[in-house]
């Protein structure tokens, strides 16, 4: 049976309001499964680095802004043979690292594991709409296409990332997760499981609206699947 080492990587740009809680949840629910927790300080101008360092985790700087650049720096820095990625405004649930180790230990052909977001700060009707989106729309698309990744909630084999030549750092934001899923799918099975969920902030939904956010993700998913590139090139930082 394979014996795995698991690294947790958290890209963070000006996340002083969220990174402390994110790390508190990650540390509390790690169950000793992470060999390291790495925060990638992605050109922050606030107290992100100082807060992360106060939690006793490793903090690495990436001067060029961009989530894919931050993930790439994490890939280059981390030592585990399994690399897990979350966003700095997430709250890791209990049992999350155990699910990663179970999947990759039991299924040698698995290249990547991901699952949906759920939102810890939205109204009940919005939570219902999100559940409908994932179960009624997203899951059938996953079954048809064969791959899907949520960028703030996935784990991938280091060996697969090496075969992919790492992350595509030319992608600024939208379509990043589908690019990862599509390219990882060439080297194994990309698993998308509703039970592998990640609570996260709804700030992007609040900042630009639920329907606009959904539309942007959907059109860039389709563009990445069909044309292997994103349509939306620019995005607005929302804090």
pLDDT in tens, 193-217: 999 999 999 887 777 777 788 888 8
Q: Distances from the Cα of 30 to the Cαs of 81, 101, 105, 125, 153, in angstroms?
A: 17, 12, 18, 31, 15
Q: Write out the two tokens for 97.
A: 């690292």
Please count the other Cβ atoms lying within 10 Å of the Cβ belonging to residue 196: 21
What is the C-alpha to C-alpha distance for residues 213 and 192, in angstroms, rounded to an integer?
Answer: 21
Instruction: Give residue 80's pLDDT.
Output: 98
Instruction: Give residue 85's pLDDT.
Output: 98
Q: Which of 8, 18, 76, 15 is nearest to 42 (CA)?
A: 15
Q: What's the pLDDT band for 129 if we cut at 50, 70, 90?
A: confident
Instruction: Give residue 1's pLDDT.
Output: 61
Please tell me the least confidently modeled range out of 63-72, 73-82, 206-215: 206-215
What is the C-alpha to C-alpha distance for residues 19 and 29, in angstroms, rounded to an integer?
Answer: 15
In this prediction, what percent of the chain has a pLDDT beyond 70? 96
Domains of the chain listed by start with CATH number: 6-227 (3.90.550.10)
Instruction: Give residue 236's pLDDT.
Output: 67
Please tell me the least confidently modeled range out of 60-69, 109-118, 215-224: 215-224
Query: Torsions phi, psi of 19, nearest 5?
Result: -65, -35
Computed over every residue of the chain, the mean pLDDT equals 93
Instruction: Give residue 156's pLDDT.
Output: 98
Instruction: Give residue 126's pLDDT.
Output: 83
Q: What pTM was computed for the model?
A: 0.93
In this prediction, what percent of the chain has a pLDDT beyond 90? 75
Chain segment 167-201, per-residue pLDDT in tens = 999 998 788 999 999 999 999 999 999 999 999 99
> Region 158-166: what's the mean pLDDT?
98
Q: What's the pLDDT band for 124 if we cut at 50, 70, 90?
A: confident
Residue 41 near residue 61 (C-beta atoms within 8 A): yes
Instruction: Give residue 235's pLDDT.
Output: 62
Residue 239 has pLDDT above 70, yes or no: no
Instruction: Give residue 238's pLDDT.
Output: 62
């Amino acid at each position: 049976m394979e014996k795995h080492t698991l690294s947790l990587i958290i890209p963070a740009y000006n996340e002083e309001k969220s990174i402390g809680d994110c790390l508190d949840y990650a540390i509390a629910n790690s169950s000793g499964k992470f060999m390291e927790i790495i925060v990638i300080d992605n050109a922050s101008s606030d107290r992100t680095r100082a807060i992360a360092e106060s939690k006793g985790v490793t903090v690495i700087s990436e001067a060029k802004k961009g989530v894919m650049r931050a993930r790439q720096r994490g890939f280059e820095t981390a030592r585990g043979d399994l690399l897990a990625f979350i966003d700095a405004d997430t709250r890791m649930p209990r049992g999350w690292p155990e699910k990663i180790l179970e999947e990759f230990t039991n299924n040698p052909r698995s290249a990547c594991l991901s699952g949906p977001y759920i939102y810890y700060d939205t109204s009940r009707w919005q939570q219902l709409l999100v559940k409908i989106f994932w179960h009624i729309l997203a899951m059938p698309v996953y079954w048809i296409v064969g791959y899907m990744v949520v960028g703030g909630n996935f784990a991938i084999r280091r060996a697969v990332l090496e075969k992919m030549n790492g992350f595509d750092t030319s992608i600024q934001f939208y379509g990043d997760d589908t690019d990862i899923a599509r390219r990882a799918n060439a080297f194994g099975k990309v698993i998308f499981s509703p039970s592998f969920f990640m609570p996260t902030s709804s700030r992007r939904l609040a900042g630009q609206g639920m329907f606009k956010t959904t539309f942007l993700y959907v059109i860039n998913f389709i563009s990445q699947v069909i044309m292997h590139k994103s349509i939306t090139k620019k995005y607005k930082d929302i804090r």
